[in-house]
Chain A
Amino acid sequence: MERSNSEWLAALQADGATQQVALAELRAKLLGAVRAYLTKNLGAQDCLSPGDAGHLAEDCAQDAILLIQSHLENFRGESRFTTWAYSIAIKVVLGELRRRRWRRSAIERAQLGQTLPAWPIEETGPDRSLEQREAWAMLTRLIDAKLTPLQRTALVAHAFQGMPLDELADWLGTNRNSLYKLIHDARKRLKQALLHEGVTHGELIALFGEATSASHVQSEGKTSFAQRIS
């Protein structure tokens, strides 16, 4: 029978055998959760070597147990205790997978946070239309001109080079919340600059969205970005 929230808290804060039984039960649940995630998410497997998933699940479940024990006072009882515990285990495993993926990435470290790509989209697809190239040129110009150097570094490293937020926060010597605020401020400046240029959300999505093809965009006969903002 499932323990109630208060029963979980009481058992985990107890001494001796009561606590050990609760910890073993919780560990089994978290291990099952992490294994289920790794099994069902093929995307996780690109950064795991054969046989590695088992070790990773064990390590993440153990790390989550330690975090839960040291943060029990943070559990406010708004959710089921197990949902709260699962959220910590999921955060641990996702963080580890992001770290591994990032360390295997081919981003030149000297270019980290510095260089915007010549073209932002990696996928092959329809040829880039004149309007798409003009829009990307405008976006790079606004990113370079309107963001502070630190905002630009954070946006380039995270959004365009794929650096995970926790890794980026460590690299910049800050924390996750301050980094989110920094990127929020960068987005806010970019939004204001785009609106000032007369560029709308719908316009950019129509240009770069999945259904867009170069011929379609050009056939609409719109005024080009270069013509409109020059």
Chain B
Amino acid sequence: MKRTEFTRLIDTVFATKSGDEMLCTEYFDKLPHYVDLQASGRDAATLLPEIRHHMHQCPECEETYLALLRLLETEKTSGL
């Protein structure tokens, strides 16, 4: 485990909510909307905070977000 992964784990422990958190399936369903909002310049993290929280808590889901966002940027600037 890299140092950044270990400190991320510590971050996720202390950011854990006492109640329920959005699960991976719901996150994935809503992620395209989140990324479209962000790609259009909207503040997606404020509009959809549960999605932002889930991607903080779940590095695998965050990796999907980052890859999708970069893909849309590539599509916009140079096409696929």
Contacts and interface: CB of A to CB of B under 8 A. Distances in A.
Interface string A102-126: 0000000000000001001111010
B33 A78 contact: yes
Interface string A71-103: 000101011100110110011001000100000
Contacts of A84: 32
Contacts of A120: 1, 6
B35 to A, nearest CB: 6
A120 B23 CA distance: 27
A42 B21 CA distance: 32
B3 to A, nearest CB: 5
A202 B67 CA distance: 30
A84 to B, nearest CB: 4
Interface of A: prevailing SS: helix
Contact of A121 (B2, B30, B33): B2
A117 B5 CA distance: 14
Given A29-B80, A83-B36, A191-B14, A160 B1 contact: yes
Contacts of B32: 78-80, 83-84, 86-87
A210 B10 contact: no
Given A87-B68, A176-B24, 8 more contacts: A36-B71, A79-B36, A90-B71, A180-B24, A201-B10, A204-B7, A205-B7, A208-B10
